[in-house]
Structure 1
Amino acid sequence: MPYAATFTPEALTRAEVDAKRGPMVLEFGTNWCGWCRGAQPHVQAAFAQAGTDVPHVKVEDGPGRRLGRSYGVRLWPTLVFLRDGAEVDRLVRPQGAAEIAQALGRISDA
């Protein structure tokens, strides 16, 4: 499967994320990160398997990036699963679509 991730510079502030209603996934990483690239087939498969329209925001992370620091992100990719602005689950360097799909289920069913 081709690499399809495009991490973009921060477009949301922590206050905006905290104020969001409903489910959302923040995925922290970079376009050049090998771990991030390797996780993309799993991420894509999980979202397809879940059949959900949960917003999925790929946030470019790095030193001085406030949103990632506010979530304590240290390794990439880190997926933060949110419901009504509150963290429900977190996966760091996910190894398969199943664990991502399970976390998606937890925020979609809440």
Structure 2
Amino acid sequence: MSRIVNTNEFISEVENKQGTVVVDFFATWCGPCKMLSPVYNSLGEEMKEKTEFLKVDIDQSMELAQKFAVNTVPTVIVFKDGKEVDRLVGFIPKKNLKDKVEQYL
């Protein structure tokens, strides 16, 4: 299960971290988010030795959603050394997401 982080944790877990971190911006009421969740969690488990997969609930951390201009959920943002390097919007098949993340490892 991917860990949900709040705004304070986001700074230390993503913005101040070296390496690659993948963040799923989601909402509990979002249908495509519910479809992506098992794919995201499974990939996070598979790749846990290489990178960290975190989640941000946009309703609980609106300031993060605004800061990163997340207007549609799910939005998966790949961070490298604390900076956004890529973004995927909507449901993403597992292979596509894995291929995208591996580009930044």
In the alignment, residue 76 of structure 2 is paired with which amino acid?
Answer: L
Relative distance call for 1:10 and 1:49 in structure 2 (3 A) is: same
Residue identity over aligned pairs, in percent, reads: 23
CA contact (8 A) 1:5 1:31 kept: no
Corresponding residue number in structure 1 for 2:38: 41
Q: Distance in 2 between matches of 1:22 and 1:79?
A: 16
Corresponding residue number in structure 2 for 1:61: 58
Tell me how many residue pairs correspond in the alignment: 104
Q: Which 10-residue stretch deviates more, 21-30 or 36-45?
A: 36-45
Task: Please give the TM-score of this superposition, normalised by the length of structure 2.
Answer: 0.78
Q: Which 10-residue stretch deviates more, 18-27 or 60-69?
A: 60-69
Secondary structure of the structure 1 residue equivalent to 2:78: strand
In the alignment, residue 18 of structure 2 is paired with which amino acid?
Answer: R
Corresponding residue number in structure 1 for 2:71: 74
The structure with more radius of gyration: 1
Relative distance call for 1:8 and 1:18 in structure 2 (3 A) is: closer
Unaligned runs of 5+ in 1: none
Q: Distance in 1 between matches of 2:15 and 2:5?
A: 19
Aligned-residue RMSD, C-alpha = 2.6
Unaligned runs of 5+ in 2: none
